[in-house]
Amino acid sequence: MTEYETILAETRGRVGWVTLNRPKALNALNTTVMREIVDVTTRWDADDRIGAIVVTGSERAFAAGADIKEMEEKSGLEMLMTDHFGGWARFAALRTPVIAAVSGYALGGGCELAMMCDIILAADTAVFGQPEVNLGVIPGMGATQRLVRAVGPYKAAELILSGRNMGADEAERAGLVSRVVPASDLLAEATALSDQIASKSLPSLYAAKAALDAAQETSLAEGLRFERQAFAALFDTVDQKEGMRAFREKRSAEFQNR
Ligand code: CO8
């Protein structure tokens, strides 16, 4: 496995684990972090031995935002011409299911990185927020769109316009996180969940994720059409035959594509 400067990357069974590793900067997301995460996760995405990816940080911080010190002196033209954080779109477009396991600060780009994942598991210490207005800017890695879809337009407006933080319980009530667990259990819960997901047939995982993404991006009619087609296509996989035969024979499925 490649050595990286700002992340730790390893595979555990069928799961790829990325741990953000800039402790002195509370895992602030600079362009190196982006390049390294995109590099390892796109490689895992093309590897059929990987069925799920977990992204996590430290106990104190998932990520405290985009790296303010890296961006501070840039001009608008530079931000535009270098497409400063454009690589994140490749991470958001992975076909493999991705879980964010969030402990501590998930602010600004950190909250936006979590929202690029499919599932957000939160430690009870997690703190979410979009504090960009405090810096004289607005979210730039997706929050004006993804937070609206996650928590609704009015809650998203309060958070983005005020820049206030919210704790894990409020984030769960708002629908941003799927589950809050004691901080000491976060990695064990992420392990159990990612192992469970990675044990399924890959074609069904890819299809389910693509259909869930379609729900965010298309009309109901379009999304339902997409789902029907993806559902039908899975009947041409050996794993559909095996999954249904195993049900009838009252045993666990032995999927080939996993
Ligand atoms: N960028 C760079 N360095 C950071 C960041 C950050 N986002 N957050 C923390 N750090 C650094 C601090 O500067 C400090 O370094 P040093 O010791 O060298 O001074 C170290 O991490 C520890 O931080 P603190 O001393 O501040 O720790 P506290 O426990 O006192 O406070 C907080 C923790 C509340 C998280 C505080 O650090 C903070 O407010 N951080 C900034 C949060 C923030 O504003 N995030 C949003 C950033 S903007 C953004 O994400 C926009 C994304 C869109 C980009 C799109 C580009 C195209």
- Give bridge partners of residue 53 from the DSSP assignment: 16, 98
Average pLDDT of span 181-203: 98
pLDDT digits (tens, 9 = 90+) for 233-246: 999 999 999 999 99
CATH number for 7-198 (one of 3.40.50.1100, 3.90.226.10, 3.40.50.150, 3.90.870.10): it is 3.90.226.10
* Structural contact between residues 116 and 146, judged by C-beta atoms closer than 8 angstroms: yes
Name which of 180, 166, 100, 164 is nearest 127 in CA terms: 166
How far is it, in rounded angstroms, from Cα 238 to Cα 45? 21
Name which of 44, 62, 32, 52 is nearest 1 in CA terms: 44
Q: What pLDDT band is residue 258 in, cutting at 50, 70 and 90?
A: confident
How far is it, in rounded angstroms, from Cα 57 to Cα 55? 7
Within the chain, all domains assigned CATH 3.90.226.10 are found at: 7-198
Say yes or no: CB of residue 85 within 6 Å of ligand 1: yes
- pTM of whole model > 0.80? yes
Within the chain, all domains assigned CATH 1.10.12.10 are found at: 202-248
For the chain, what is the mean pLDDT?
A: 97
pLDDT digits (tens, 9 = 90+) for 35-70: 999 999 999 999 999 999 999 999 999 999 999 999
pLDDT digits (tens, 9 = 90+) for 128-160: 999 999 999 999 999 999 999 999 999 999 999
- 5 in active site: no
- 76 in active site: no
Smallest CA separation from ligand 1 atom 1, residue: 67
Q: What pLDDT band is residue 123 in, cutting at 50, 70 and 90?
A: very high
Say yes or no: CB of residue 140 within 6 Å of ligand 1: yes
Q: What pLDDT band is residue 107 in, cutting at 50, 70 and 90?
A: very high
- Among 26, 113, 130, name the best residue to mutate to test ligand 1's pocket (greatest count of ligand atoms within 8 A of Cβ): 26
Tell me, what's the pLDDT at 1? 61
- 66 in active site: yes
For residue 211, report the distance from its CA to the centre of ligand 1, in Å: 35
Of the residues 25, 61, 64, 66, only one is catalytic, namely 66
Neighbours of 61 (CB within 10 A): 24
Please provide the DSSP assignment of 84-127 as one string.
TTTTHHHHHT-SS-EEEEE-SEEETHHHHHHHHSSEEEEETT-E
For residue 64, report the distance from its CA to the centre of ligand 1, in Å: 5
Name which of 205, 231, 213, 257 is nearest 96 in CA terms: 205
pLDDT digits (tens, 9 = 90+) for 156-174: 999 999 999 999 999 999 9
For residue 28, report the distance from its CA to the centre of ligand 1, in Å: 6
* Structural contact between residues 246 and 199, judged by C-beta atoms closer than 8 angstroms: no
Say yes or no: CB of residue 132 within 6 Å of ligand 1: yes
Q: What pLDDT band is residue 205 in, cutting at 50, 70 and 90?
A: very high
Tell me, what's the pLDDT at 220? 97
Q: What pLDDT band is residue 84 in, cutting at 50, 70 and 90?
A: confident
Say yes or no: CB of residue 29 within 6 Å of ligand 1: no
How far is it, in rounded angstroms, from Cα 185 to Cα 246? 33
CATH number for 202-248 (one of 1.10.10.10, 1.10.12.10, 3.40.50.300, 3.30.1540.20): it is 1.10.12.10
The two structure tokens encoding residue 22: 């800039």
- 221 in active site: no
* Structural contact between residues 168 and 109, judged by C-beta atoms closer than 8 angstroms: no
- The DSSP symbol for 29 reads B
How far is it, in rounded angstroms, from Cα 157 to Cα 147? 9
